[in-house]
Every structure is written in C-alpha cells, then in structure tokens.
C-alpha cells in the first residue's frame, strides 16, 4: 500500500504542533520548581496560542488576517507579563533567598 | 508535488521538530541556562513557522520582542538569582509528576481530537501574502485602534510596575511616614524580611 503524503502542510499539522507546545508548557508550569523555569513555561504556552492564531489567520481568514493582529497584541501582553513576572521573582528572591516554588507559601492556608 | 510545496513541507517538519524537542528541553534540562538558550531556539523556530504562514511582519516582531527582549530578560533574571541550591525533597513528588503527566496527556488527546475531527472550512479565502503588513497597519489604525492605544498604556504600566517591584528601597525617607527608610535592606546588612526560620 502506497503511503500518501500530503502535498502541502495541512492546518491540522499546525494545530497539533501547538497542542504539543501547549501541553509541554502546562506540564512544566505544574512541575518545575525553579520559578524562572515556570515563567519560561508560560512563554511556551503563549507561543502555542500564537501558532494557533497565525495558522487560523492564514488558512481560514486569508483576506482579513485578524489573527495576525491578535498575535501582535498577544506578543505585547506577553512582553509586559514577562517584565512584571521577573520583577516579582526578583522581589521574592530578595525576601526569601530562594527560587523554589515550594517555599513561596506565605499565602498558604 | 512541486519543488515549492515540498520545500515548505520539509521546512515545516524541521521547524516543528525543533519546536517540540526544544520545548521538552526547556522543561526537562537540569541546567537552567541551557534551557533559557533552548527557549531562544524555540522562539526563533516559531518565527520561522510564521514566515511559512506568509506573515513576515509578525515573524520580525516575534524575533525582536521574544528573542531580543523576553529571552534576554529571562537570562538576566537567571543571572541575578543564580544560586546553587539543593531543593529539599517533598513527599509525593513522583506521584504528582505522574498525575500531571496524565492530565497533560489527556489535554493533548482532547486538543488533537478537536483539531482532527472538526470540519474546518478549508480552503478559505486566498491569503494576501506579502500585503499582510499593509493589512495589519490598516487594522491597527482603524478597527483595532482602541486596543492598540490601550496596549501602549499597558506597556507603560508594566514598565513602571516592574521598576517599582524590582528596585530596592533607595529613598532616603519613607513617603508615608517621613521617617528615615530602612537602609539595611539596601546594604544587605540585615536578613531579608520573610526568611523562614530553619530550625
């Protein structure tokens, strides 16, 4: 039986790649104990969302490319989030002298 | 199959492999500096994917903002908090990893099922290709003008907030009470406020 390869990249391939990236990010967000790595996982998840938006914008909305505009806004918000997140991390590190997520438990019950 | 489409297919395969393996490396590598550089590689590959999708402006923005700003910021943060510390073992860590791995696998299966069973309306309208930058400009200054202006306010707020959060207490006097500020925190002569009693 001849294996039929697609001649162009299908939309589903981009969606599957974004799903892989998003799930990796979620796993890292839950499991990593270094706070910097948790922030990196958040960036991975935001990139997965951006890939989805761009794929839909190119395949389903080729004339009005609203997905690309949304991607620009997501990139802007991600930059702001990274700056504030790392500032919070530095402030925490100054007070706690650790980056272990398990020890940031001041608000725990 | 033409040369153009096969080139596109090969580029997509290589870039997506780099993205997937790089993301795993970001999460799993023991040395965090390596994972930060791998994260830069992932961002660059995602920019390559945007180029495959006829979006040169967003690809350039991705390289400038993510690789040039966010990744460098993360590297600086690693440099500032780089202390070798042995994280204390906590009970049930292996179980937690397994459980969260199962949850992520379930989420992945759900996303794949949605992606492959939904009848997407492909092929859509013809993509605009190289005119994408012009279209984005028109969008930003007509129907997306309000979010565009709000984004500038958001960036200003984030900048001021980051400065306020990350700076040390450098004012000579407390604003609220007028008393001299606690300079011990600046000079690191005093132990930090929230340090746990390790007894």
B83-121: per-residue pLDDT in tens?
777 777 788 888 999 999 999 999 999 999 999 999 988
- What band does B170 get if pLDDT is binned at 50, 70 and 90? low
Contact B128 A65 (CB under 8 A): yes
Contact criterion met (CB below 8 Å) for A65 and B135 = yes
pLDDT for position A103? 80
**Range A48-73 average pLDDT:** 92
Q: How far is B178 from chain A (nearest CA, A)?
A: 23
Structure tokens of A44? Answer: 């991975």
Task: Dump the DSSP string for chain B.
Answer: --HHHHHHHHHHHHHHHHHHHHHHHHHH-S-HHHHHHHHHHHHHHHHHHHHHTT-HHHHHHHIIIIIIIIHHHHHHHHHHT-----PPP-TTHHHHHHHHHHHHHHHHHHHHHHHHHS----S-SPP-GGGHHHHHHHHHTTTTHHHHHHHHHHHHHHHHHHHHHHS----SB-TTT-SBP-THHHHT-S--TT-----
Residue B169 in this model has a pLDDT that exceeds 70: no
Contact criterion met (CB below 8 Å) for B71 and B43 = yes
pLDDT for position B127? 82
* CA-derived radius of gyration, chain A: 19
Residue B187 in this model has a pLDDT that exceeds 50: yes
- What band does B185 get if pLDDT is binned at 50, 70 and 90? low
**Range A30-57 average pLDDT:** 93
pLDDT for position B64? 95
Cα distance between residue B85 and residue A93, in whole Å: 13
Residue A16 in this model has a pLDDT that exceeds 70: yes
Cα distance between residue B139 and residue B81, in whole Å: 41
- 3-state SS, residue A100: strand
Q: How far is CA B124 from CA A18, A60, A62, B25, B119, in A?
A: 20, 4, 7, 36, 12
Residue B199 in this model has a pLDDT that exceeds 50: no
**Cβ within 8 Å of B, A 39-68:** 39-41, 43-44, 47, 50-51, 54-55, 57-66, 68
pLDDT for position B26? 94
For residue A4, the chain B residue with the least C-alpha distance is: B1
Task: Tell which wins on pLDDT, B50 or B198.
Answer: B50
pTM: predicted TM-score of the whole model, two decimal places: 0.87
Structure tokens of B29? Answer: 């590598």
Q: How far is CA A65 from CA B52, B62, B143, in A?
A: 15, 17, 13
- What average pLDDT is seen over chain A? 88
Contact A8 B8 (CB under 8 A): yes
pLDDT for position B110? 96
- What band does B181 get if pLDDT is binned at 50, 70 and 90? low
- Cα within 13 Å of Cα(A89), Cβ side: 26
pLDDT for position B189? 53
The ipTM estimated for the assembled molecules is 0.91
- What average pLDDT is seen over chain B? 86
**Range B130-143 average pLDDT:** 91
Structure tokens of B106? Answer: 């379930």
- Cα within 13 Å of Cα(A103), Cβ side: 20
Hey, is the C-beta of A24 within 8 angstroms of any chain B C-beta? yes
Hey, is the C-beta of A101 within 8 angstroms of any chain B C-beta? no
Q: For the ranges A31-40, A80-89, B85-94, B104-113, which has the lowest average pLDDT?
A: B85-94
Task: Tell which wins on pLDDT, B2 or A74.
Answer: A74
* CA-derived radius of gyration, chain B: 24
- What band does A97 get if pLDDT is binned at 50, 70 and 90? confident
- B13-48 pLDDT per residue, tens: 999 999 999 999 999 999 999 999 999 999 999 999
Residue A93 in this model has a pLDDT that exceeds 90: no
């Amino acid at each position: 039986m001849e294996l039929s390869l697609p001649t162009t990249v299908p939309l589903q391939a981009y969606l599957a790649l974004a799903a892989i990236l998003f799930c990796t990010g979620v796993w890292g967000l839950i499991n990593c104990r270094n706070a910097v790595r948790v922030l990196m996982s958040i960036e991975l998840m935001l990139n997965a969302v951006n890939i989805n938006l761009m794929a839909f914008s190119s395949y389903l909305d080729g004339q009005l490319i609203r997905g690309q505009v949304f991607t620009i806004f997501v990139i802007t918000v991600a930059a702001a989030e990274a700056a504030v997140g790392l500032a919070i991390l530095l402030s925490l590190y100054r007070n706690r002298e650790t980056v272990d997520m398990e020890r940031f438990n001041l608000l725990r019950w | 199959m033409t040369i153009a489409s096969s080139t596109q297919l090969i580029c997509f395969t290589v870039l997506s492999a780099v993205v997937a393996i790089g993301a795993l490396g970001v999460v799993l590598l023991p040395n965090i500096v390596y994972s930060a550089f791998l994260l830069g590689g992932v961002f660059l590959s995602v920019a390559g994917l945007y180029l495959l999708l006829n979006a040169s402006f967003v690809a350039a923005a991705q390289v400038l903002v993510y690789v040039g700003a966010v990744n460098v910021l993360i590297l600086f943060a690693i440099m500032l908090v780089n202390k070798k510390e042995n994280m204390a073992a906590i009970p049930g860590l292996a179980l937690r990893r397994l459980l969260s791995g199962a949850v992520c696998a379930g989420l992945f299966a759900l996303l794949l099922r949605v992606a492959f069973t939904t009848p997407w309306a492909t092929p859509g309208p013809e993509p605009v290709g190289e005119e994408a930058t012009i279209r984005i400009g028109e969008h930003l200054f007509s129907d997306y003008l309000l979010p565009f202006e709000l984004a500038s306010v958001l960036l200003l707020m984030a900048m001021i907030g980051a400065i306020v959060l990350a700076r040390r207490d450098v004012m000579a006097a407390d604003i609220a009470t007028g008393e001299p500020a606690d300079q011990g925190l600046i000079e690191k002569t005093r132990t930090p406020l929230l340090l746990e009693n390790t007894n």
